[in-house]
Chains A and B, each alone.
Chain A
Amino acid sequence: MANLNLYSRSDKRFVLINMFLIAIFTISTMYPFIYIASLSLSSGFAARAGQVVLTPIDTTIEAYKYILSQRMFWVSYGNTFFYTIFGTITSLLFLIPGAYALSRPQLYGRRFFNLMVAFTMWFNAGLIPFFLNMRDLGLLDSYIGILIGFAVNGFNLILLRNFFEGVPSSFEEAARMDGANDFQVLWKVYMPLAKPAIATVALFCLVSRWNGFFWAMVLLRDEEKIPLQVYLRHTIATLSNDDEFGATLIDAPYSVETVSAAIIVCSIIPVLIVYPFIQKYFEKGIMLGGVKE
């Protein structure tokens, strides 16, 4: 809008108060992250004594040394990368062709299939039947189970479908007259056209895979297969309840708090790296998918 100089005095006051409030909210969003980062770099003694408020006290990287020396940290980190990358690829392999087919007006039974998708967003069998089904399919404790079992998500499917529907049908018709079949129309015309939507969905998949916790905790028993989030939860929970570990820490340069903080930092970093890319797309993505987030 207009230049601030054109504002009346009361308007200027209004604008400044508003900026101040936004600044407070923004800082309060950021502060916990800064606090955790500082904690992870503080000495165990300072952390236990509650001295850390804003900046690291007695700066040390001992907590990171401890974490990075844990084999399970690396195993779970590797697993998370595996689940994130291959899980996203699996999702796209299902979502793109499915969404394209559902977007085509000539698909006989289209209304029925779309209702089938929508219904899964309204009615969910729930935790127990889903779990028992995974067990019956032999997908407990399996990499495949995690990859396939969470491949499709109604929201992403509908988001992509809506995008495909928004592409003028003359693109399909032109390609068809040029001799392209459905596979070619999708691969050579619609996929390139849908790049922004596909990128949006891919990023949504990446984030939800990276953050996925509950079902990995429930479905995976084998420690060698757990992702970072489960390891993180496990570590935070056991460290804070385990007196023995606490006892070994009396003389250590790190503490339960600093170690937990260090794991948190390690698992946030990849999200921060892709975050600028996500941000570029998600605002558009939300609107593409209608109003539901």
Chain B
Amino acid sequence: MSGVKLQSIVKAYGAVQVVHGIDLEVQEKEFVVLVGPSGCGKSTTLRMVAGLEEISGGELTIDGKVMNRVAPKDRDVAMVFQNYALYPHLNVANNIAFGLKIRKESKQDIEDAVAEVGGILGLTEYLDRKPSDLSGGQRQRVAMGRAIVRRPKVFLFDEPLSNLDAKLRTQMRAEIKRLHKRLGVTSLYVTHDQVEAMTLADRIVVMNDGRIEQIGTPMELFLNPINSFVAGFLGAPPMNQIKATIAAGDTGPLAQFAGGELALAPLADLQNAVGREVIVGIRPEYAQIVTEPTAGSVSCNLDLVETLGSEALLHTTVGDDPFVIRTDTLDKMGVLDAVTGFTAQPDLIKVFDADTGMALAGQTRAA
């Protein structure tokens, strides 16, 4: 089985450690996305899997074999680079065939493979062109073709879409997803764009500062972020995080804010935390607007309404904390300016420790 397994993988440049022990198991045919802010070590991790960076510590296995000291070419992995690294002096066909030629495969095999890959990626009519004559999206496809043609055990993608404009990016994202469905090759994909991560991944690995923050399916991470970093990283706009105190209510724990209180899920961990200062996380989508102060709602001051068409973003403040609400516009435009507060379902409210940022355990919500 062509899985990739990283055990306590460490990368250090001299005395400076940049990756502090990564544990990750990518199953066969799985599409795993490494996501995180720039400098979080995600690319370095990918390059260690590729063999482009030496592994300073830990063990990497691909397909059950230890790969720490194996040359990149012998790992049976292929990589798509951010700048595509297409050879400008070779036409599309020869760019795709480069790896096969180096490996001295027969002429017929190479021709067949190039034709097939060209067909899959819709490049058949461009095979004679030089990369400089191609559009950004086409170049991107050639770069993928070069990876696909070798039928590797693992695909590695290093921010392959970041050089494209927004529209093409959306389009190529879908193509990569389709391609993965069709070929079913184990894939490890690095990006800093959480939308790419959410849309492409079977599982997402959120990294920060050389460590893994959380691993899970997109929805798991979206609904149950393990800490305030993950909560703030996934979702656009990100999850609101405001200060609150936990209090005991009649029916269960409450979160008390500057402008009101919200009922929390009746979980033991929250009941035990009564009296503690916490950070409460509410996604903009899960806050419901209120135009009259009612019990069980929090009042906020409306600064600004950004209308996006089908929906609108309300920029408000709760006490000193900014709070964004995302709401439908249909039949509501008239009331948006009159918003005075919001409310939220107890099971969609996250509570994080004010000091460590870790979610208070026991909170899970299925999609």
Contact = CB atoms under 8 A, between A and B. Distances in A.
A273 B164 CA distance: 45
A126 interface: no
Nearest to B81: A170
Given A176-B52, A178-B99, A179-B102, A171 B73 contact: no
Interface string A163-205: 0000010110111111110001000110011010000000000
B89 interface: yes
Interface of A: 168, 170-171, 173-180, 184, 188-189, 192-193, 195
B73 A178 contact: yes
Interface of B: 50-52, 71-73, 77-79, 81-83, 85, 87-90, 98-99, 102-103, 146, 150
A174 B102 contact: no
Given A177-B77, A189-B87, 19 more contacts: A168-B83, A170-B81, A170-B82, A170-B85, A173-B81, A173-B85, A174-B79, A174-B85, A175-B98, A176-B72, A178-B102, A179-B73, A179-B99, A179-B102, A179-B103, A184-B102, A192-B87, A192-B90, A193-B89
A106 to B, nearest CB: 9
A173 B87 contact: no
Q: Which 5 A-B pairs have the closest CB atoms?
A: A178-B99, A192-B89, A179-B73, A174-B85, A170-B85
A121 to B, nearest CB: 30
Contacts of B87: 171, 189, 192-193
A177 B102 contact: no
Contacts of B90: 192
B85 A168 contact: yes
Contacts of B99: 177-179
Contact of B78 (A177, A180, A188, A195): A177
Contact of B81 (A174, A180, A189): A174
A178 B52 contact: no
Nearest to A168: B83
Given A173-B52, A173-B79, A184-B102, A178 B146 contact: yes
Nearest to A171: B85
Given A177-B78, A178-B73, A170 B83 contact: yes
Contacts of A189: 87
A193 B150 CA distance: 24
Contacts of A193: 87-89
A178 B85 contact: no
Contacts of B146: 174, 178
Nearest to B98: A178
Contacts of B50: 173, 177
B70 to A, nearest CB: 12
A78 B52 CA distance: 50
B298 to A, nearest CB: 50
B77 to A, nearest CB: 7
Contacts of A176: 52, 71-73
A198 to B, nearest CB: 13
6 contacts: A174-B85, A177-B52, A178-B150, A179-B73, A188-B102, A192-B87
A177 B153 CA distance: 13
Contacts of B51: 177
A171 B83 CA distance: 9
Contacts of A175: 98, 102
Contacts of B52: 173, 176-177
A168 B82 CA distance: 11
A180 B102 contact: yes
Nearest to A185: B102
A180 B73 contact: yes
A66 to B, nearest CB: 50
A171 B52 CA distance: 12
B293 to A, nearest CB: 58
B165 to A, nearest CB: 21
B89 A177 contact: no
B72 A177 contact: yes
Nearest to A192: B89
B47 to A, nearest CB: 8
Given A192-B89, A193-B88, A177 B73 contact: yes
A72 to B, nearest CB: 45
B220 to A, nearest CB: 32
B94 to A, nearest CB: 10
Contacts of A192: 87-90
Contacts of A184: 102
B88 A177 contact: no
A189 B82 CA distance: 18
A183 to B, nearest CB: 11
A170 B102 CA distance: 17
A189 B50 CA distance: 20
Contacts of B73: 176-180
Contacts of A173: 50, 52, 72, 79, 81, 85
